[in-house]
Structure 1
């Protein structure tokens, strides 16, 4: 089998270079095979890492005389560490074996508690550990957490979306097919001030178990670069264009699958009459390797039907011109910015998108991708910041304050130094 290699042989593995002057390959030692992914374990400089390929020096390993000589190994037995109280009882039992029935064995009396470095309260509920002010990691944690009703409602909402979009059909497991698993992922979505806005329960497929050429093929999907968003926001600020924002609900569910993909039923939503069945996916779902690509293809098809033209150099930026009416659209996974100078046209874009997908209208853009947007249209100024206090600073925008934290740029856009430290001054 060509995949099998001689354990302990040297190998050259390609690594990411920090500078062009560094070597492209590093010499390592092959030490095993990872369980969860295809590749090899390599050891180098007191670290073990995974790489998919390498140049193995097996012939040199076999011909090396030092590798072939006999080495005597000394067996080392690890000593057991016994608590002081246990050791005292053990000695007493050896001196008087009858005391074993009258004197119970006592463990350590040390007080055990969670480290203070965690910064939050940890409690137990049966076999499930709950962490206050945190998101549950599993379905079991969600159903016993203080916010269990909100998490259950979030999961029911997700299942309703699956049903409305006809994401899967329940079928008997095909012979010889092992379905991929799925899990619940929980997230508290916050507003720009950090307040919890919604509880989100997302059903995610375990796509790492998919097999290339069997249940997926192409996976590449473009995403808008943030510098493109900055440029169009600068254009909007200079020309005083409207900037609206929309969010696609369960965006990946709109993608159509071309492959046959089977998945286990989601935990907590298996009925007794369908307990032995599996989900045959009709549409894409979060976690699948081709999910993002399927959604991007579906969106591109829909928006071009409305007359938008895709940018050749930035495939997630679209434009539409009609006389003096200008419209731009930026897609970042499931976040959409709509920019233009004609309100009826922008409203028609919203209506079209809402007819194609399940959308959430967020109105004027104020917060996107973790970045706050502040706009002063009377002075054609637009500011971006990830700071929590920056709104107050921007309201008192002046030359003195711009030297402290902002860089004025052309076309009326100002950017935070904290966010863009490499911006030329």
Structure 2
């Protein structure tokens, strides 16, 4: 296949120029201003951006255990539609990914899909935060990192030991930062909106207190520590401060946290309920500033499918979380690039090479000899999400016009999605 006439953007090398790509046997064989070769399929990318396939460090495919919400297969389809060629699944399935047999079963089923699906294992057995999993055996069996995502690690010594172990294994440990002792109703920020609803929500101190602790533990342990789905401006400041001190910290921002505020709960109800919750405009702006100055180096969706029946429950009973794979790139372009907060190459850096480096994946860049994992998109096309490849449709962005339309997703040299 020859991809012709596209604007090729590669954040890893800083490349941004119009050129052709020749793909053979799943590999980028040649990149040049003009490539002609008889008998090759030609994909004309005139007017489009050609970038590395996107990588998401934080998705929930709900498989095994909750396959009425999502399956590995439907999750893969949603990923491809959103321009993602690699994703990392969280461990809070049923059974939990805390043993080698469960891990191997997931990876075996994932290997049949058309994108690359990686699996994080849990830090603690059954997500109880008390007994450490066999991290050596899980890493050996293919776990790309460790996380109890969805559940915070409340025992500081336990958390520190897990960081030390992860540092020895040279894999990241990712942390869900919400201290439940501060929270009465999760998923909604404690503030003007929760007051208007007559409930006591989740105050930002619930996140900030654990972020402060874990920034210190990261500094002392030397581990690559990911502060997941950051929601508070103070949390951003903490990460920035400890990074300067030498901690190997990484932070995820989700599209919903840099796009929406707590006011969305009044408009969208349970579709705007997530952990950690949407917070104030001041917090949103602090997250955008953290993205702009590099404090936050990852954009991750926290793709969290739920059924319509679950989300139809009263706001204090409905589960937290939204789907995000199919709107992530567009929300980044709409909320970050078009207003001038980030350049397109900076946005793509946080969605390609940064996650690839963190997880030691040989993807996320366009160069001769590298895997032909690409996304081809029109950054200026306005579109409105109305239906999804995901099994679920729990998104506050349904019906919202946004810019940046994925036209093709190519993984290992094969077209796995086209518009």
TM-score higher than 0.5 here? no
TM-score w.r.t. length of structure 1: 0.21
TM-score computed with the length of structure 2 as normaliser:
0.21
- Select the structure of larger CA radius of gyration: 1
